[in-house]
Structure 1
Amino acid sequence: MNVSCDDISFTHLPESESFAGRATPPSSLTDEQIWAEFRQGSQPAFEHIYTKYFPVLYNYGRQFTADSELVKDIIQDLFIYLQQKRSTLSAVSSIKFYLYKSFRNRIIRHLNRNIFVTNDFTVEGGFDIALNHQNPEAEMDEDLLQRMQQALQTLSARQKEIIMYYYYEGFNYAQITTIMGFGKIEYARILMSRTILKLRKMLGVSAFVVELILAAGISGSCVTV
């Protein structure tokens, strides 16, 4: 289930922290500039970050659990923490990367502490990724796309996750290493290499073709920002 900003209400934030109706920072500002304004106490900057990334984090969180209220609660806790600690937060170059890293750590900790929710821990079945057959720039054989879609479903949870981060979210290997908790960047590269190799063998095509399909047509449960 994907959500958009229009589906999000600010009512689950404490009343004292509501910022509905305020102007948002100009779209021309970089992540560094928006984050710097937020750290300096700008409520419009906070609203901009919240409005833009709440639906993204919600859809991301549903990859880990079917409990939508739990996902919302963890997002709420994360943003309240950011609001309370903003003056002590470090500078960032990518807000999305920072939020993904922070949110993933929080939801994994919660799920690991609460064994009773493991039946809803959908990451065990892998991330929900799909090929966008409607991409006008991806003129590829329909049968090959269908076989790729089937092959994607055979991947492990970690393999699906790294494909999502790299081809859909646009994270680099250093960022993926941090998000997924790898000790070394080489581990992320090895996982991706083995994932591409598995897809290549299943499809009987070159690694180049596999990467071309993924780069041109990957989509998933997260909203593009």
Structure 2
Amino acid sequence: MPTNATDIALWEQFRQGDAAAYEQLYRRFAPTLYSYAVRFAPHEPEWVEDCIQELFIYLWQHRTQVGPTASVKHYLFKALRREVMRRFRRPRRLITYGSEEATYEFLLSLAGEADRQDQEQRQEQSAHLRRIIERLPSQQKEALLLRFHDELTPDEIADILSVSARTVYRLLDRALATLKKNRMLQTLLLAALWMS
């Protein structure tokens, strides 16, 4: 059974009140959700864990009202982002992004498995890549992560970010254009960009 089909079957069982399916969904998706959400608050891992727990508590309490979905991963990413943004709407974290309010700084880190012989060179390349990526606007970093690390479609990313699919394509194009300006990055980008 394909993974998405398995996820959907678990989702339907969870919606019917199956606690084992609910637990399995949590175990399957919590690490991926954590990896995504920790980029919003890298110095507050407990806060990120709280967001994920709040999301799953909410889902269990409202399981009879939760609808079916074609992609459990997409559903959970969108719901978690909504929870994170809700919590970030506190004044101490407020910053602006373009014409709309953005209440976070999305951080992206790279961690690769380097051979011992190549480790120093790869660390230098990764540091260079990290510096370039960190200069990207938050939404570009987030769109890149969702697309290439979490393998979500542009339509799913648009839904998660509450923007149009066209905007997602623009964000990705601009981010990749910035990254591709450097020749070294052209070779590193696909191989090492999303290792974490």
The answer to whether residue 140 in structure 2 is matched with residue 159 in structure 1 is: yes
User: TM-score w.r.t. structure 2 length?
Assistant: 0.77
Q: Distance in 1 between matches of 2:190 and 2:145?
A: 10
Per the alignment, residue 95 of structure 1 pairs with 72
Q: Looking at both structures, which has the greater relative contact order when contacts are Cα pairs under 8 Å and sequence separation is at least 6?
A: 1
Per the alignment, residue 170 of structure 2 pairs with 190
Cα RMSD (Å) of the superposition? 3.0
Kindly report which structure 2 residues correspond to 1:113-132, keeping only aligned pairs within 5 A, or say none.
Answer: 114-117=90-93, 123-124=104-105, 126-130=106-110, 132=112
The answer to whether residue 159 in structure 2 is matched with residue 178 in structure 1 is: yes
Q: Distance in 2 between matches of 1:37 and 1:153?
A: 41
The answer to whether residue 34 in structure 2 is matched with residue 58 in structure 1 is: yes
Selected match of 1:67 from 39, 44, 47? 44
Q: Distance in 2 between matches of 1:73 and 1:177?
A: 25
Per the alignment, residue 13 of structure 2 pairs with 37
Aligned residues: 181
The answer to whether residue 67 in structure 2 is matched with residue 80 in structure 1 is: no
Q: CA deviation at 1:156?
A: 1.8
User: TM-score w.r.t. structure 1 length?
Assistant: 0.68
Residues 193 and 103 from structure 1, CA distance in 2 versus in 1: closer, same or farther, beyond 3 angstroms?
A: same
Deviations 1:71-104 (A, max 9, x none): 2322222112111211221112222211110011
Q: Contact conserved, 2:85 with 2:103, CA < 8 A, in 1?
A: no
Structure 2: which amino acid aligns with 1:59? S
Gaps of 5+ in 2: 96-101, 116-120
Deviations 1:11-62 (A, max 9, x none): xxxxxxxxxxxxxxxx896111111111111111001011222233233222
Gaps of 5+ in 1: 1-26, 136-140
Q: CA deviation at 1:144?
A: 6.0
